[in-house]
Amino acid sequence: QELLKSGQVKEPVEPTILPRLPKSIEEAMKADEVMVAPLIRTTISDDRGDEPCYDGYPASELINKGYEIPHVIGLLWDKRLISKQEAEIIKRIMMLSADHGPCVSGAYATILAACAGIGLSQAVAAGLIMIGPRFGGAVTDAGRWFKHAVDNKMNVDEFLAYMKKNVGPVPGIGHRVKSLRNPDKRVKELVGYVKSLHIKTPCLDFALQVEQVTAAKKDNLILNVDGTMAAVLVDLGFPVDSLNGFFILSRTIGLIGHWVDQKRQDSRLIRLFDYLVNYAAPKRREVPPLK
């Protein structure tokens, strides 16, 4: 008692009985006590094991059995293991679309961002934002309308009349720089290779027929690389809504390259020279008294 009074020892404390904590969701689910509605549903990949599986195929097995990036695209975008021939076509599409110089909208936007000191992901995103109906983003629309024509057994005149009345200019037809006199070698390369395989290409055949009619009216109304990619990919069976993804994926390679290139050179901030701007605003004038 004296030791207790002096504070040299303390009375024994009964151990605290901790409240019983509820089970975690995982424990309750394992015991079949609760059901939880999934927040999302995926049908393409699963990473709950020791490695990711793409549509059921372990990534390492795909690598070790000689499959390549185009095969992974087939699994994740179309849920199928594409053939070696189809993979070669996709590889060529990606190589031909990886870059088109610094002057096009996407590359220029990425270069501007890089020179402003913007990081890689944001600068590449700036370039990707430029992809749309006037630059690189016509692949899906071209595929949709070429497929519509083939599915509905339209001839070229019927198709062009339908597009003029209901849609507007034909996506995948026309180029700002290329023409019959200055053809796009990427288109020639891709068409030539696909045709050499002697596979059925109804959409590509139709697109080339459309080009014959439109280019006869104006020599720059040729089948462009967007339209060629679209027709070929539809013929390979890829979903129409995935088609812009092939351009986006391919051109990202080039956009990363432009960012790295500017970073390597330690490029300075770009500001337009006045002579590059058409100043159409009113001349300087006196501000009237506020009424």
| Local confidence pLDDT in tens for the 291 residues of the chain | 777 777 787 777 788 888 888 888 899 999 998 888 889 999 999 999 999 999 999 999 999 999 999 999 999 999 999 999 999 999 999 999 999 999 999 999 999 999 999 999 999 999 999 999 888 889 999 999 999 999 999 999 999 999 999 999 999 999 988 999 999 999 999 999 999 999 999 999 999 999 999 999 999 999 999 999 999 999 999 999 999 999 999 999 999 999 999 999 999 999 999 999 999 999 999 999 999
With respect to residue 273, please indicate whether it lies within any of the assigned structural domains.
Answer: no
Whether residues 69 and 128 fall in one domain: no
Say how far apart CA 53 and CA 46 lie, in whole Å.
5
With respect to residue 235, please indicate whether it lies within any of the assigned structural domains.
Answer: yes
DSSP percent split of the chain into helix, strand, coil, nearest 5:
55, 5, 45
With respect to residue 173, please indicate whether it lies within any of the assigned structural domains.
Answer: yes
In the three-class reduction of DSSP (H, G, I as helix; E, B as strand; rest coil), residue 260 is classed as helix
Model confidence, pTM = 0.86
Whether residues 140 and 23 fall in one domain: no
Whether residues 116 and 242 fall in one domain: yes
CB atoms within 10 A of CB 143: 31
Q: CA torsion sign, 95 to 101 to 106 to 111?
A: positive
What crossing angle do the helices spanning 105-115 and 243-265 adopt, rounded to 10°?
Answer: 40
Q: How many domains does the chain divide into?
A: 2
With respect to residue 8, please indicate whether it lies within any of the assigned structural domains.
Answer: no
In the three-class reduction of DSSP (H, G, I as helix; E, B as strand; rest coil), residue 135 is classed as strand
Closest CA to 126 of 109, 108, 103, 114: 109
Whether residues 153 and 191 fall in one domain: yes
Instruction: Find residue 58's DSSP bridge partners.
Output: 53
Whether residues 77 and 210 fall in one domain: no
Whether residues 128 and 259 fall in one domain: yes
Closest CA to 250 of 59, 89, 142, 66: 89
In the three-class reduction of DSSP (H, G, I as helix; E, B as strand; rest coil), residue 223 is classed as strand
52: containing domain: 16-82
